[in-house]
């Protein structure tokens, strides 16, 4: 048998093909050369592993294949997604979408210079968080504030600033993992603190904390069980009791509330989300939460609390490593400004607007879109169905938000293939699969995307 590799075109031969020539001009010559080499290398390997199965295409076909492969490779960039998953705070999809005001604020500072660390009134160097400090004071009643890259960074900063080299007391019921790389015991170790576990998974009493206090105790940490629930025979002291104990024994209390509600979410049917203001009022020394969960702003970690403790955080060299940029501050500040006018916040902050959308409205949109896509290309049939959405992002476990979906039966492909085709659409569309149907949840699709959503289905026909 003849070695099929003898027919393999050379790199320079392939680069002469019109497709790859065009790509080299529009993309980058070296990127295309490297891509062709990688593709050929991979092909050679496959051929030498199983000689009989692999057929070497003609040069023109091969060039076309490589060009297509290079284009999909390039597409693995940050791409726009229509979120039909029904998960409002989808970490894989960048959590909270920003409000118009936040986007404008980013645009405003992105193109030029801005006063990110300069007090224009005095001409003196200022603190970055100064921009949002007063807003956070107004919204939560705290004494001071700092902003870090995310809540994981906020936690490390708080622990390292208040308790490095010391023990931090945490209930065994609160040793959380928030997806993959965030596991509290590891975060604790990285911050230079020693974890002092107390109580049991389901029951921890104030006396357990009290008995664990010794001369090496640096802080008490409470962590909100964001993404799980301990139900049944349970007990855990509330933040007020922990603060009482901490202050009696002169030990700072850090409260990681996770999602950080700035307003009461029970009106959206979401009970049990701790409010930042409440934690401050209970006397927690530092309160930590994400900017892109229930706040509905950009990715960041918000640290609020007492002057003395925030100053310790700001003086920590890690603060510099975990600080946020001007774009984040601009978006955060614009988002917080909207909360100062709560009647506007619900209309303008996308997360709140999604939560506040009435069911009738969602039903209408689901019906309309189902009618528009039913029978086209990849859709055998589509119908509106009552389903539940979820907050996600490690917020309010087990609480479902009533909603409406478009339930799609695929034509000429499996439901998994349909899901993959939609993911590769432009923009990409994500749904969820349930019993051989693809569901597109309209609560998480912005109404301005309805037309684009229908267009993606049409483009697949
Ligand atoms: C989400 C969450 C974190 C991590 O926050 P990031 O902003 O994703 O870093 C930490 N603690 C709790 C309780 C959370 O819910």
Supply the range of the domain harboring residue 19.
4-73
In this structure, the answer to whether residues 59 and 106 fall within a common structural domain is no
Give the number of the atom of ligand 1 that is nearest the alpha carbon of residue 292.
Answer: 7
Confidence at 48, pLDDT banded by 50, 70, 90: confident
Q: Indicate if 378 and 442 belong to the same structural domain.
A: yes
User: Do 152 and 26 sit in the same domain of this protein?
Assistant: no
The residue nearest atom 15 of ligand 1, judged by CA position, is 258
Q: Give the span between the Cα atoms of 241 and 223, in whole angstroms.
A: 14
Is the same domain home to 299 and 407?
no
- Centre of ligand 1 to C-alpha 171, Å, is 17
28: closest CA among 78, 36, 39, 64? 36
Once rounded to an integer, what is the mean pLDDT over residues 408-426? 95
- Scanning the structure block, which residue is given the tokens 């708080």? 158
Task: Give CA–CA dist 336/444, Å, rounded.
Answer: 22
> What is the DSSP annotation of 96-141?
SPPPHHHHHHHHHHHTS---TTEETTTTEE--TTHHHHHHHHHHH-
C-beta atoms surrounding 432 within 10 Å: 17
Domain boundary among 280, 315, 348: 348
- State the CATH number of the domain containing residue 441: 3.90.1150.110
Helices (H), 275-315: 276-281, 307-315
pLDDT score for 385: 98
Question: Going by CA atoms, what residue is nearest to atom 6 of ligand 1?
Answer: 151
DSSP SS3 for 236 = coil
Specify whether 250 is located in the same domain as 134: yes
What confidence tens digit (pLDDT) does each residue in 328-372 have? Answer: 999 999 999 999 998 889 999 999 999 999 999 999 999 999 999
CA distance 66 to 295: 45
pLDDT per residue as tens digits for the range 164-192: 999 999 999 998 777 767 889 899 999 99
Q: Provide mean pLDDT across the span 412-417.
A: 96
CA dihedral 211, 216, 220, 225 (to 10 degrees): -90
**C-alpha 17 – ligand 1 centre gap (Å):** 51
The residue whose two tokens read 């684009």 is: 452
- Ligand 1 atom with minimal separation from the 224 CA: 13
Rounded distance from Cα 108 to ligand 1 centre (Å): 29
Measured CA to CA, the distance from residue 365 to residue 150 in angstroms comes to: 35
Question: Which residue is it, tokens 């921009």?
Answer: 131
What per-residue confidence (pLDDT) applies to 457?
Answer: 96
Residues 174 and 245 in one domain: yes
* Tokens encoding 406: 């478009």
Query: What does the alpha-carbon distance between residue 391 and residue 180 come to, in Å, rounded to a whole number?
Result: 19
**CATH number for position 149:** 3.40.640.10
In a shared domain, residues 304 and 393? no
302 close to 145: Cβ distance less than 8 angstroms: yes
Residues 68 and 88 in one domain: no
Same domain, 344 and 246: yes
Tell whether 22 and 111 lie within a shared domain: no
Q: Which pLDDT belongs to residue 302?
A: 98
Angstrom distance (rounded) from CA 215 to CA 341: 46
Residue 333 is encoded by which pair of tokens?
């500040």
Which amino acids bring their CB within 6 angstroms of ligand 1? 150-152, 178, 182, 223-224, 226, 256, 258-259, 290, 301, 394
**In terms of domains, do 167 and 229 share one?**
yes
Distance between Cα 159 and ligand 1 center (Å)? 14
Pick the atom of ligand 1 nearest to 301's CA: 7
* Centre of ligand 1 from the C-alpha of residue 185, in Å: 14
What pairing do the DSSP bridges indicate for beta strands 437-441 and 395-410?
antiparallel
Residue 450 in this model has a pLDDT that exceeds 60: yes
Best mutation site among 91, 95, 149, 151 for ligand 1, i.e. most ligand atoms within 8 A of its Cβ?
151
As for how many domains the chain has, the answer is: 3
Q: Which atom of ligand 1 is nearest to the CA of 223?
A: 13
Q: What's the CA gap between 347 and 354, in Å, rounded?
A: 9
pLDDT at 55 over 90: no
Q: What is the pLDDT of residue 3?
A: 75
> Do 276 and 390 share a structural domain?
no
Ligand 1 atom 11 nearest Cα: 258
Q: Whose CA is nearest to atom 1 of ligand 1?
A: 258
| Ligand 1 centroid, distance to 182 Cα (angstroms) | 8
């Amino acid at each position: 048998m003849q070695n099929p590799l003898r027919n393999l075109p050379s790199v320079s031969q392939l680069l002469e093909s019109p497709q790859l020539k065009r790509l080299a001009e529009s993309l980058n010559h070296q990127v295309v050369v490297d891509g062709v080499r990688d593709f050929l290398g991979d092909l050679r390997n496959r051929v030498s592993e199983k000689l009989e199965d692999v057929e070497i295409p003609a040069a023109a076909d091969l060039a076309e294949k490589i060009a297509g492969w290079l284009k999909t490779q390039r597409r693995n960039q940050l791409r726009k997604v229509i979120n039909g998953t029904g998960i409002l705070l989808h970490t894989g999809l960048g959590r909270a979408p920003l409000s118009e005001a936040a986007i404008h604020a980013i645009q405003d500072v992105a193109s030029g210079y801005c006063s990110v660390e300069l007090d224009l009134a005095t001409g003196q160097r200022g603190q970055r968080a100064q921009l949002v400090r007063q807003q956070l004071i107004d919204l939560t009643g705290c004494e001071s504030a700092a902003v870090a890259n995310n809540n994981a960074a906020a936690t490390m900063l708080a622990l390292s600033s208040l308790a490095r080299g010391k023990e931090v007391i945490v209930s065994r019921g609160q040793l959380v993992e928030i997806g993959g790389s965030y596991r509290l015991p590891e975060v604790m170790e990285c911050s230079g603190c020693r974890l002092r576990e107390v109580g049991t998974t389901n029951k921890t009493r104030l006396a357990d904390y009290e008995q664990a206090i010794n001369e090496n105790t640096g802080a008490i940490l409470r962590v909100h069980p964001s993404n799980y629930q301990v139900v049944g025979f349970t007990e855990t002291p509330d933040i007020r009791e922990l603060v009482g104990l901490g202050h009696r024994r002169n030990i700072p209390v850090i409260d990681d509330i996770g999602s950080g509600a700035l307003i009461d979410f029970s009106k959206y049917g979401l009970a049990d989300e701790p409010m930042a203001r409440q934690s401050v009022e209970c006397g927690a020394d530092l309160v930590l939460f994400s900017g892109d969960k229930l706040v509905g702003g950009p990715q960041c970690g918000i640290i609020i609390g007492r002057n003395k403790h925030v100053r310790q955080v700001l003086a920590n060299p890690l603060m510099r490593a975990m600080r946020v940029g001007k774009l984040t501050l601009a978006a955060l500040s614009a988002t917080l400004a909207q909360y100062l006018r709560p009647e506007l916040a619900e209309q303008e902050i996308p997360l709140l607007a999604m939560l506040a959308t009435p069911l009738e409205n969602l039903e209408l949109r689901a019906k309309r879109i189902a009618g528009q896509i039913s029978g086209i290309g990849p859709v055998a049939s589509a119908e509106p169905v009552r389903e539940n959405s979820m907050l996600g992002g490690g917020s309010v476990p087990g609480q479902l938000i009533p909603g409406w979906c478009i339930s799609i039966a695929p034509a000429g492909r499996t439901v998994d293939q349909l899901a993959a085709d939609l993911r590769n659409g432009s923009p990409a569309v994500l749904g969820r699969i349930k019993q051989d149907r693809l569901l597109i949840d309209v609560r998480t699709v912005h109404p301005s995307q309805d037309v684009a959503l229908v267009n993606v289905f049409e483009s697949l026909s």
